[in-house]
Amino acid sequence: MTSVDAMVAALPKVSLHCHLIGSVAPATVLDLAAKHGVRLGRTAEELYDHGSYEDLGEFLRVLDVVGSLIRDADDFHRVAYESLTDGGAAHGVLYREIQLSPPGHPGVPYPTLLEGVLAGVRDAEADSDIRANLVVGICRERSGAEAVDLVETVAAHRKGTDGERVLGIGLDYAEVKGPPGLFVEAFRLAARHGLQRTAHSESGPPAHVLTLLDELGCSRVDHGYHVVDDPDITTRCVAEQVPFVCTPVSSDIGRYSGSGDGTHRRIAEMVDAGLRVCIDSDDPPMFGTDPSHDFRVLAQALGYRRDQLAAFTLNAVDACWLDDSEKAALRARVEALVAVTPDVPSAPSPEEGPR
Ligand code: ADE
Ligand code: ZN
């Protein structure tokens, strides 16, 4: 194990941008297909062909195939459990707010999805050190009216056993097909129901970040790389310390965070501008990554050492939707683990230090 590997493995992580459907391990995809009598006609490796996801449409088509295989409460239990244990705790993730996509499972009643996921969360918490809550993603390729209906459904099921674990909503799928302004009503309704809000902005213009903050009332932004193309918006986001939850590997493949050559140019610019950046893995097995690997690529490409990487995790503690006392406890756990995380002896490239 190299010193970078040892550092990223030991580093505590807080995961705020990870999709349940995108977390399904290849072997589980095959098991679910066999269970439901679905002929995939492709090996798991062919299905998870990371390079082809440079085209978001191709990625979302595969996501739909995987989502359609997760059908009953046992399936949701399994994929949630595996995402949190093998895909989370095993990589030092202490806390995850996992994003569900109800429209990605056609024909599945929301209570079935929720019941299965909550059972998986409870079992993962019992069997490992991870803790988790839920975010329900609105599919921006559907209408604003459908989004309003989904928010009503989410709010109606927040009571009962662990229902309050749904802390907020997100906005995902293809930004070109659903600009954020179409979802103002759904997001305002969510606010009235006491739900927190986040939304993806990966391919859209910097002005979408303003829509997220001012019209959707988001307390954080998923991706948001194009913010650095607008100095005024960047200045405002620095002043307000808006959290941006970036996903290096998936966004490099999609060419959202740079030129797709592993330079992670926009993430570096965001950090250098003083923005509050957090790091996560988006759809880890689908993009051939995991929570440690996303930190590893930044250490290797940008020369980030332990304290900068730890700053990303501490930013995620601030950005998460736990209450203040839970956040303080999480922060204490993170700080204690960072203190025993080995640093690399020197940075491969000049670095100004943590923010
Ligand atoms: N899952 C759903 N929408 C996504 C997106 N736009 N990027 C990555 N993963 C997603
Ligand atoms: Zn995402």
> What are the tens digits of pLDDT across the range 194-222?
999 999 999 999 999 999 999 999 999 99
322 assigned to some structural domain: yes
**CA-based Rg of the chain, rounded to a whole angstrom?**
19
Residue at 133 is within a domain? yes
Amino acid at site 58: E
Q: Which of 176, 283, 287, 294 to mutate to test the pocket of ligand 1 (most atoms within 8 A of CB)?
A: 283
Instruction: List for the chain the helix, strand, coil content (%; round to 5).
Output: 55, 15, 30
Q: Which atom of ligand 1 is least distant from the CA of 223?
A: 7
Within-domain flag for 355: no
- Check if the beta carbon of residue 307 is closer than 8 Å to that of residue 299: no
CA-based nearest residue to 193, from 152, 140, 227: 152
pLDDT at 337: 98
Question: What CATH number is attached to the domain comprising 319?
Answer: 3.20.20.140
246 CA distance to ligand 2 centroid (A)?
A: 9
Ligand minimally distant from the alpha carbon of residue 61: 1
Residue 352 has what pLDDT?
37
Residue 349 covered by a domain: no
Of 231, 229, 169, residue with least CA distance to 194: 169
- Does the pLDDT of residue 355 top 70, yes or no? no
Is residue 346 situated within a structural domain? Answer: no
pLDDT, residue 259, reads 87
What's the structural domain count of the chain?
1
User: Which of 48, 60, 138 best tests ligand 1's pocket when mutated (most atoms within 8 Å of CB)?
Assistant: 60
The phi, psi pair for 280, rounded to 5°, reads -150, -170
> Would you give the DSSP letter of residue 40?
-
Q: Is 256 in the pocket of ligand 1 (CB under 6 A)?
A: no
What does the pLDDT average to over 165-194?
98
Q: What is the pLDDT of residues 250-296, one digit of tens each?
A: 999 999 998 899 999 999 999 999 999 999 999 999 999 999 999 99
| Pairwise CA distance, residues 304 & 246, whole Å | 15
- Within 8 A by CB and 6+ apart from 95, the residues are 14, 15, 130, 131, 132, 320, 322, 330
Paired residues of 96 in beta bridges: 15, 132
Mean of the pLDDT values across residues 125-138? 98
Q: Is the CB of 222 under 6 A from ligand 1?
A: no
Q: To test the ligand 1 pocket, which listed residue (15, 16, 17, 19) has its Cβ within 8 A of the most ligand atoms?
A: 19
| Domain-embedded: residue 57 | yes
pLDDT in the model for residue 159: 82
Residue 164 or residue 71, greater confidence:
71
The answer as to whether 351 is a domain residue is no
Q: Is 172 in the pocket of ligand 1 (CB under 6 A)?
A: yes
Task: Give residues whose Cβ lies within 5 Å of ion ligand 2.
Answer: 282
Q: How far apart are CA 297 and CA 251, in angstroms?
A: 12
Local confidence band at 348 (pLDDT 50, 70, 90 cut-offs): low
Condensed to tens digits (0 to 9), the pLDDT of residues 291-347 reads: 999 999 999 999 999 999 999 999 999 999 999 999 999 999 999 999 999 999 875
> How remote is the CA of residue 197 from the centroid of ligand 2, in Å?
14
Instruction: Indicate which residue's Cα is closest to atom 10 of ligand 1.
Output: 173
Task: Take atom 2 of ligand 1 and give the residue whose Cα is closest.
Answer: 173
**Separation of CA 340 and ligand 2 centre (Å):** 31
Mutate to test the pocket of ligand 1, among 24, 172, 175 (most ligand atoms within 8 A of CB): 172
Q: Which pLDDT does position 237 carry in this prediction?
A: 98
pLDDT score, position 347: 57
The per-residue pLDDT of the chain, averaged, comes to 95
Lowest model confidence (mean pLDDT) among 43-47, 158-162, 287-291: 158-162
Let me know the angle formed at the C-alpha of 101 by 96 and 107, rounded to the nearest 5 degrees. Answer: 140
Q: CB within 8 A of 44, min separation 6: which ones?
A: 26, 27, 29, 30
Q: Looking at ligand 1, which residue's alpha carbon is closest to its atom 4?
A: 173
Residue 96 and residue 117 in contact, taking contact as beta carbons nearer than 8 Å? no
Which residue owns the Cα nearest ligand 1 atom 3? Answer: 173
Q: pLDDT category, 350, cuts 50, 70, 90?
A: very low
Mean pLDDT of 20-38: 97
Nearest to 132 by CA among 23, 26, 285, 219: 23
Nearby residues of 54 by Cβ (< 8 Å), 6 or more positions away: 253, 254, 255, 260
Query: What pLDDT does residue 336 have?
Result: 98
Q: What pLDDT, on the 0 to 100 scale, is given for residue 351?
A: 44
- Separation between Cα atoms, residue 313 and residue 302, nearest integer Å: 17
Residue 163 — pLDDT band, cuts 50, 70, 90?
confident
**How many residues would you count in the chain?**
355
> In which domain, by residue range, is 184 found?
3-339
Q: What is the pTM assigned to this prediction?
A: 0.96
pLDDT value at residue 342: 96
- Dist. CA 173 → ligand 1 center (Å): 5
Percent of all residues in the chain with a pLDDT value above 90, rounded to a whole number: 92
% of the chain surpassing 70 pLDDT: 97
Residue 215 pLDDT: 98
Residue with CA closest to ligand 1 atom 7: 173
Does residue 60 surpass a pLDDT of 60?
yes
> What pLDDT score does 1 carry?
80
pLDDT score at 124: 98
Residue 353 lies in a domain: no
Q: With a 6 A CB cut-off, is 22 part of the ligand 1 pocket?
A: yes
For residue 222, the ligand closest to its alpha carbon is: 2
